Structure 1
Amino acid sequence: MPDAIKAAWDKLDQTGVQTLAELFADRDRVAKLSGRISLGEGAGGILFDWSKTHLTDDLLAGFEDLAEAADFAGARETLVTGGLSNASEGRAAEHLAQRGIGKDSSVEEAFALHQRMRMLVEAIHQGALGEIRHLIHVGIGGSALGPALAINALARDLALVDVHVVSNIDGCALEQAFAACDPATTLLAIASKTFGTVETLTNAQSVLRWLGDNGVSDPGGRVIALTANPEQAVEWGVDETRILPFPETIGGRYSLWSSIGFPIALAVGWDEFSAMLEGAQAVDVHFIETDGRDNLPLRAAFSDLYYNRVCGCRTRAVFAYDERLALFPAYLQQLEMESNGKGVTVDGQPVSGPTAPITWGGVGTEAQHAVFQLLHQGTHLVPVDFIASIAPGDELDPVHHRTLLMNCFAQGAALMAGRRDAGAERSYPGNRPSATILCDDLDAASLGALIAFHEHRTFANAVLMGINPFDQFGVELGKTLARKIEKGGEVFDPGTEALLAAAGLNDNA
């Protein structure tokens, strides 16, 4: 570890700690630790409140020293300009170019590919492929989680096409989609960066068989391919006019801004997809143009690292007080844990401390009657993020949304304040941290902004820990062994051999 980085961490480890109640003696604390990002004229904005965390002026100054020692500004510049951000794979990380920020050639390519996708989306909406009422979108990881999140959030009242995202190789997932779709009016989208993902292509073949078995004369004519390897898609049998490419420099968990977003645009229309891009760009501009503690994603990373590395918290919880964000915790699990769940630094050396905490969470008041018992009275200290929208997503009696928001804010207050009671079992220790992200409304622009905020937060954490957030070699070993099982002839450990035999998969028995 470089001396300057070690000195910054040593200083942080030695910084004194106050309780949250003591910290609020500073009447300016809310103003100091809250910030707002506007999403443009008429588009509202998002408030980010970190005042109920243990961040202090001294800690913020210490983390600013760490950011300088880690050359955060240089890493950010490399990301924005399309430099070698992903050194282990020898490529840039250019998801920002999909939102109009980056080197000119990449931004121009993104615009051209978006226009190609827009033409196909609008042609489908206008009936160029016949009556299309359903889309089965098969992918895995980021090529499924991003579209599923956005469609679940935005398409409840707007769906122009009914989209079913299938990622699991378990046939039950496909059968559920089949039951909801009419094969005569169903398209298939295959999302695979390499167009070689076994689970995705297996699911795709099953969809084609289902279409053919149910009277579709040309199932292959119903296929749209979303890939960074169009040549492989053509070889697989997809018509080149139905292939929507995206650049090799876009990783799966950062890909919903590219042609992987096709099912989003098909479900809610191009204008809504474009608004997602614009909301994300608003956060990009803030992240690029703001330095130090005023940079809101960077400030969030300061808090993450304080609890993870200084306080020893090994998990972080995210609770969406909005049914439309039910999939957001799952989306963040992949974004944060696949990006930063690493054990070595960018130069291949063992890391000096813990990296990504375990991200988990749930939805609003449901979680209050389940896991919040542990948060309030358990022995684990768990930093919590609350996410909510001021505007409701329903048209029912306003009492529903008022009660939802009151519960959200009350939970943060209760975690902080606690309560002393004569009976120990009824006492709450308090002094437990939380942050609140409050959207004016949950629309396409704010959803894009929320996702971009967490992308930048994840990147900032990685830079300050000295790791690469853009590779994911840890997902490969299990896949390799699964292929060996399929091929046969491999001898595994006795426990695995026993399981294979019990399932009838062991050709060595």
Structure 2
Amino acid sequence: MATQMHPRCDQAAAWGALQRRFASEGRSFDARHALRDDAGRVQRFSQQAPFVFADMSKNLIDAATEDLLLQLARDCGLEAQRDAMFRGDPINATEGRAVMHFLLRTPQGGEGPAQELAEVHRTLEPMLAYAESVRADSQITDVVNIGIGGSDLGPQMAVQALDSFVAPGRRFHFVSNVDGHELAGVLRGLKPRSTLFLIASKTFTTLETMTNARSARQWFQSQGGTDIARHFAALTTNVGAAADFGIERTFGFWDWVGGRYSLWSAIGLPIAIAVGAENFRALLAGAHAMDRHFRTEPLERNLPARMALLDLWYRNFHGFGSRSVAPYHSALRRLPAYLQQLEMESNGKRVDREGQVVPYGTSPVVWGEPGTNGQHAYFQMLHQGTDVIPVEFIAVKEPAHTLREHHPQLLANVLAQAQALMQGKADPGGHKHFPGNRPSTMLLLDRLEPQSLGALIALYEHRVFCAGALWGINSFDQWGVELGKVLARDIAPRLASGDTAGLDASTAMLIRRLAS
């Protein structure tokens, strides 16, 4: 087993001091009083990072606590762990891999392992050239991306987020679920001669993706389609399997790119087709700007690190088990789903890097919906429920539409919800009582455009890395995804045969009901 090179958080010297701080001050901390009494609070707990402004002043933290958290980060060697990632060290120890998704947005000649960076640009250039050729092809009106997990969530989120940059007359569809209802619903509105299918599977063996890909090919041929090489492309490293499928155009990536970090790679081809090469490069540039911020800024002004330390404070001291993400921009409606995979697949671990069970919580449950929809759904619980749930608001200063009366109302709502969570409202009768002192962070973008979206996503990526480094876990494997997939391969033929030998009583009963 790998040796723990840096102490995990509970073994660091500052951990005990934080426990004492929480018992004496943290448990009863009131952000309302702090904002009233501390003239420097807003300045201390807000900062501008590349393309993202963060106001963390409504959180349950003060300067003394943050200083201890910063000391904890140093005790855990956070900066050294960050530098190891950027050097290309194999920090994904359970799989023996480097973690270098940052290279995917590093300019030519930039910092990082030179050989891998050169390979990135040898792949990027033809991928973007192909995207431009598709954009210039007036016959192609529909692009269908078939993938799952990181091959679906990231590209889908980004294409929706950048909808105002998509050329009119072209539609983008994303199929991930092996449930045939999803693919059938997409295919109903398509014609073979005007459709391009992108099959996104690193190994070209992913069960859900290949089931959908085969069904798409069958539909294409049954509807009179004949040129698979023109209407199908593959995002894969298994060129042979793609060729056997009938695909000639392939774009690959590398084992140091985790699926949930892959939208910057060839997996981002649907994004490039949607917004064009120039805007795709701007997406990469925004992420690279955040990379530089994370790599060079001291911890005191390093936004990903500060947000991760706040996450640890809430998860391991306050005991808050979830965080709600509320983007007040409809184009970011898939961001909470994307962040669910990014954070919970990365940090939903129960053992440290040595395989030892950790005695504290790791990833919170991440969930949310766009505002103002969420206000009329689950915000009741945020304001008056028995659990305290930190909220992350995301707002955009300038709209991408001309409906003038809408945006001021949207911004007023996001500001009011954060204010209401913090201030609360007294009611002796109880039913209209809002406890208040409920924490939130506000992330502000000037505009939702490729550079700001890239920076925002990279901010979340590095925040997840920091939290995992502090908890002493490997944020870059995902063994928990595998077991159910293995068992499904055994169950599938049993549904056809009715064979239940060797199964537990519950599964056997369900198979009998479904097979009858």
TM-score, normalised to structure 2, is 0.93
1:169 partnered with 2:181: no
1:480 positional shift: 0.3
**Aligned match of 2:102:** 96
Instruction: Note if 1:35 corresponds to 2:47.
Output: yes
- Indicate the residue corresponding to 2:135 in structure 1: 125
The answer as to 2:30 corresponding to 1:19 is: yes
Question: What fraction of aligned residue pairs are identical, expressed as a percent?
Answer: 42
Pair 1:327 & 2:337 matched? no
2:86 to 80, 85, 90: 80
Q: Within 2, Cα distance between the matches of 1:4 and 1:500?
A: 45
**C-alpha distance in 2 between matches for 1:91 and 1:231:** 24
Q: 1:143 aligned to 2:146?
A: no
Q: Which residue in the other structure is 2:436 paired with?
A: 430
1:45-444 paired onto structure 2 within 5 Å: 45-100=51-106, 101-127=111-137, 131-156=139-164, 158-159=166-167, 161-239=170-248, 242-396=249-403, 398-444=404-450
In the alignment, residue 340 of structure 2 is paired with which amino acid? Q
Deviates more, 1:130-139 or 1:288-297: 130-139
Cα distance in 1 between the residues matched to 2:428 and 2:353? 53
| Count of aligned positions | 494
Q: Is the 8 A contact 2:52 2:452 kept in 1?
A: yes
**Whole-angstrom CA distance in 2 between matches of 1:501 and 1:298:** 52
Pick from 473, 494, 497 the counterpart of residue 508 of structure 2: 497
Say if 2:12 and 2:75, in contact at 8 Å, map to a contact too. Answer: no
Question: How far does residue 4 in structure 1 lie from its aligned partner after superposition?
Answer: 7.9
Determine the C-alpha separation between the residues in 1 that align with 2:9 and 2:259: 35
The answer to whether the aligner puts 1:478 opposite 2:478 as a matched pair is no
Question: CA separation in 2, counterparts of 1:156 and 1:202?
Answer: 32
Deviations 1:155-195 (A, max 9, x none): 24523632111001111111121123222111111101111
Quick check: 149-158 or 461-470, which moved more? 149-158
CA distance in 2, matches of 1:2, 1:190: 40
Q: CA–CA distance in 2 between the matches of 1:2 and 1:99?
A: 30
> What amino acid maps onto 1:251 in structure 2?
G
* C-alpha contact (below 8 Å) 2:393/2:442 kept by paired residues: yes
Inter-partner Cα distance in structure 2 for 1:326 and 1:427? 30
Uncovered stretches (5+) of structure 2, i.e. residues with no partner: 1-6
Distance 1:423 1:276, change over 3 A: same
CA-atom RMSD, angstroms? Answer: 1.6
- Classify the secondary structure of the residue corresponding to 2:57: coil
Q: Which amino acid aligns with 1:338?
A: E
- Equivalent residues of 1:4, 1:69 under 8 A apart: no
Q: Distance in 1 between matches of 2:353 and 2:241?
A: 31
Using the TM superposition, give the Cα deviation of residue 228 of structure 1 relative to its aligned residue in structure 2, in angstroms: 3.1
Instruction: Report how far residue 487 of structure 1 moved.
Output: 4.1
CA distance in 1 between counterparts of 2:193 and 2:70 reads 59
Instruction: State TM-score, norm by structure 1.
Output: 0.94
CA shift, 1:410, in A, is 0.7
Contact 1:208 1:220 in 2 (8 A): no
The residue number in structure 1 matching 2:11 is: 5
Q: Does the CA-based 8 Å contact 2:8-2:470 persist in structure 1?
A: no
How far apart, in 1, do the equivalents of 2:85 and 2:489 lie?
A: 35
1:42 maps to what in 2?
none
Q: Which amino acid in the other structure matches residue 26 of structure 1?
A: D
- State the distance in 2 between where 1:354 and 1:230 align: 41
Tell me by how many angstroms 1:229 deviates: 3.1
Note closer, same or farther for the CA distance 1:2–1:424 as it changes in structure 2 (3 Å cut): closer
The letter of the residue matching 2:513 is A
Q: Distance in 1 between matches of 2:478 and 2:238?
A: 19
Give the deviation of 1:338 after TM superposition: 0.2
Structure 1 CA distance, aligned partners of 2:310 and 2:365? 15
Aligned 8 A contact 1:5 1:66 in 2: no
Instruction: Give the aligned residue type for 1:20.
Output: A
Q: Secondary structure at the match of 1:215?
A: coil
Q: Secondary structure at the match of 1:21?
A: helix
- The farther-off stretch of 161-170 and 256-265 is 161-170
